[in-house]
A and B are shown apart, each in its own frame.
Chain A
Amino acid sequence: MSRSSRTKQARTAEATAKVVTGAIALSVVAVAVFVFVYIVYNGIGALDWTFFSEVPRDRGREGGILPIIVGTLYLIGATAGLTLPIGVLAGVYLAEYAPRNFTTRAIRLAITNMAGVPSIVYGLFGLAAFVLLAGFGRSIIAAALTLTCMTLPVVITATEEALRQIPQDLRQASLALGATRLRTIYKVVLPAAAPGIITGAILGLARAAGETAPILFTGAVFQMRRLPDGPSSQFMALPYHIYAQVTSVPDWNRELVWGTALVLVAGVSIVSVMAAWWRSVQRRKVKW
């Protein structure tokens, strides 16, 4: 009697647990879908030719967002140019050169900790180090350097992981042919690991494109009459534009701001999805 009731209890608990955790997981999905649909629904109306080809007028209440898109592209281009070489070489160091000792552990600890430093602290660091001390002023280069510090952990980790996937046989074969270690890395290991590295870098850069706090005091401006004309120019950026409109423009144009948000989210997610897809295609092509 008591035994069968205990079984019954266990069965009820099993069913309840399944339903409750399932419902919670479903609610997470619902939130994600809501976020997606809400952005598209509110922003889609703004997307027309003028939106992409004109400069903002009346403090952003009218016109388009051309200089804002261009500013973000310049910023991310500069960040990519700085992050890729440093991050890939750091990943090479960790995967190919680093000895198993205390310092290497400290480096790994530093990398995971860098990923946890608040973005606004990077903003402070960028202001003190790049804008003021290095004398770059508020500029694309100062903001790109700040974003580089933020993105580096992602690129380093992706590179190291991709390099570790390459079998030792390849390296040994190259060394047996008389190539030096460096030549082996440059000619054999890096090309084989390229899809993983590039995907990781793109994912990191897409995140960087959405960051506001690090560029607040390092170069983003509310309004510019012309397009940025070099690395020392100030710039407008998509995330900063959204923030500035909402917080400092009375009667901000809902449609244009949501359109900007749609462009930002769509850009970030399309690029990320394509990068992930490309990596899986490349992985299927090559079997070690």
Chain B
Amino acid sequence: MTTPPTHSGRRLGRTTTRRAAEAVVRAIIYLCGWMAIIILAAIAVFLMWNSFRAVNEAGLFTMLSGTAWYPTSSPGKFGMLPLIVGSLFVTGVALAVCVPVGVAAAVFISEFSGRLVKEVMKSIIEFMAAVPSVVYGLIGVAVLIPFVKDAFSLTSGMTAVTGGIVLGIMSIPTVISISEDALHAVPEELRQGSAALGNTRWQTTFKVTLPAASSGIFAAVMLGLGRAIGETMAVLMLTGNAAVMPASVFESVRTMTGTIAAEMGEVVQGGLHYSVLFAVGLVLFTITFGINLVADLVLERQRKRWRR
């Protein structure tokens, strides 16, 4: 294509080999490009395939609506509702922590602070996001479990609240950085227009900037939610892991993620319990997939809105 036709046979031969090599490399590049879809599809297929036995023998509806999780009794009882409720309790507490704190901090960084503060805050948030979840779990074990026990005078500090607070702190970086992006994306003209009408900085933020950035902030909350539901290690170390229906957030709970992590090591491979744990994974995957999809679509729409 790029080499002019020549009479030298050797040159022609080299061009042909080079073209063949290019074709092979291009094929590899295309394959890698598709890798994300391949892996995501493979995850879905493997989860479904492995939970087939559970759906067949225990029944999908029975599992989703059952309130008794006794996987080792015979016959085993695989009601996932306590796990789902446990996950929801922990996630609810986490959201109550990370949404107000994260959005307020994002407002401060984006609307009320100078460049230096912005840079410092950004590196601090990066550090918080880089700390592994097992280390957050360890800090929770050392600090928060005794604190929750004393503060609410409970018999044990391993509760949904304990896990939720730590999870909320872990989700703060996600919420701040995406909310900050959303606020940053609002065109400066909108703020100037509001200021020209005599509004103060806060009135502008509250009545103009925040509503204009609302879809992005919604996406931030959704991604924080997804992160909290899917988190494993910190909740496993902090919530006490009692697989019974909790009556309040001050009781021990066991989440879906914690159940998989704690029980997969002890099951017979290919057995019913093994398959049920994959079904739990499938439920988890479906929930987080839905949440991420919604957040994605919202973010996409926001990007289009401000693009000119």
> Which residues of chain A have a CB within 8 Å of any CB of chain B?
10-11, 13-14, 17-18, 20-22, 24-25, 27-29, 31-33, 35-36, 38-39, 42, 85-87, 89-90, 92-94, 97-98, 106-107, 109-114, 116-125, 127-129, 132, 149, 152-153, 156, 178-180, 182, 206-207, 209-213, 216-217, 239-240, 242-243, 246-247, 257-258, 261, 264-265, 268-269, 272, 276
How far, in angstroms, from A180 to B3 measured CA to CA in the complex? 9
Which parts of B8-36 form the interface with A (CB within 8 Å)?
18, 22, 25-26, 28-30, 32-36
Given A149-B39, A152-B39, A118 contacting B257 (CB threshold 8 A): yes
How far, in angstroms, from A87 to B39 measured CA to CA in the complex? 13
Is there a chain A Cβ closer than 8 Å to B298's Cβ?
no
- Residue contacts A-B, CB under 8 angstroms, 26 given: A10-B202, A21-B107, A25-B113, A28-B121, A38-B139, A38-B142, A85-B32, A113-B296, A116-B289, A117-B40, A117-B289, A118-B230, A121-B47, A123-B260, A124-B278, A124-B281, A127-B264, A132-B269, A156-B36, A182-B22, A210-B133, A239-B233, A261-B135, A265-B130, A269-B130, A276-B126
Q: Is the CB of A120 within 8 A of B261?
A: yes
User: Given the complex, which residues of B lie within 8 Å of A89, measured CB to CB?
Assistant: 28-29, 32-33
Given A111-B36, A182-B25, A210 contacting B132 (CB threshold 8 A): yes
Q: Is the CB of A39 within 8 A of B257?
A: no
Is there a chain A Cβ closer than 8 Å to B152's Cβ?
no
Given A94-B33, A246-B138, A22 contacting B108 (CB threshold 8 A): yes
Binary contact readout B255-267 vs A (1 if CB under 8 angstroms, 0 otherwise): 0010011001100
Q: Is the CB of B127 within 8 A of A269?
A: yes
User: Given the complex, which residues of A lie within 8 Å of B113, measured CB to CB?
Assistant: 22, 25
User: Given the complex, which residues of A lie within 8 Å of B50, measured CB to CB?
Assistant: 124, 128
What's the count of A-B pairs with C-beta under 8 Å?
261
Q: Is the CB of B32 within 8 A of A239?
A: no
Is there a chain A Cβ closer than 8 Å to B223's Cβ?
yes
Q: Is the CB of A153 within 8 A of B36?
A: yes
Which of B1, B128, B134, B141 is the most central at the interface, judged by chain A CB atoms within 10 Å of its CB? B134
How far, in angstroms, from A240 to B233 measured CA to CA in the complex? 10
Q: Is the CB of A32 within 8 A of B35?
A: no
Given A127-B264, A210-B134, A182 contacting B26 (CB threshold 8 A): yes
Is there a chain A Cβ closer than 8 Å to B221's Cβ?
no
User: Given the complex, which residues of B lie within 8 Å of A90, measured CB to CB?
Assistant: 32-33, 35-36
Q: Is the CB of B233 within 8 A of A243?
A: yes
User: Given the complex, which residues of A lie within 8 Å of B132, measured CB to CB?
Assistant: 209-212, 239, 264-265, 268
Q: Is the CB of B141 within 8 A of A246?
A: yes
Q: Is the CB of A107 within 8 A of B133?
A: no
Given contacts A114-B39, A210-B131, A269-B130, 15 further A-B contacts (CB under 8 A): A11-B200, A24-B100, A89-B28, A93-B30, A107-B36, A109-B296, A110-B36, A111-B36, A117-B40, A123-B260, A153-B36, A213-B232, A217-B264, A265-B135, A268-B131
**Could you say which of B46, B107, B130 contacts A272, with CB atoms under 8 Å apart?**
B130
How far, in angstroms, from A153 to B39 measured CA to CA in the complex? 11
Given A121-B43, A124-B278, A107 contacting B203 (CB threshold 8 A): no
Q: Is the CB of B33 within 8 A of A216?
A: no
User: Given the complex, which residues of A lie within 8 Å of B269, measured CB to CB?
Assistant: 132
Is there a chain A Cβ closer than 8 Å to B42's Cβ?
yes
> Which A-chain residue is minimally distant from B241 (CB atoms)?
A247
How far, in angstroms, from A39 to B200 measured CA to CA in the complex? 42
Given A129-B46, A268-B132, A118 contacting B289 (CB threshold 8 A): no
B202, chain A: closest CB distance, angstroms: 4
Q: Ordered nearest first, which 9 A-B pairs have the shortest CB separation?
A: A118-B230, A210-B132, A93-B33, A89-B32, A21-B108, A116-B292, A17-B202, A110-B36, A213-B232
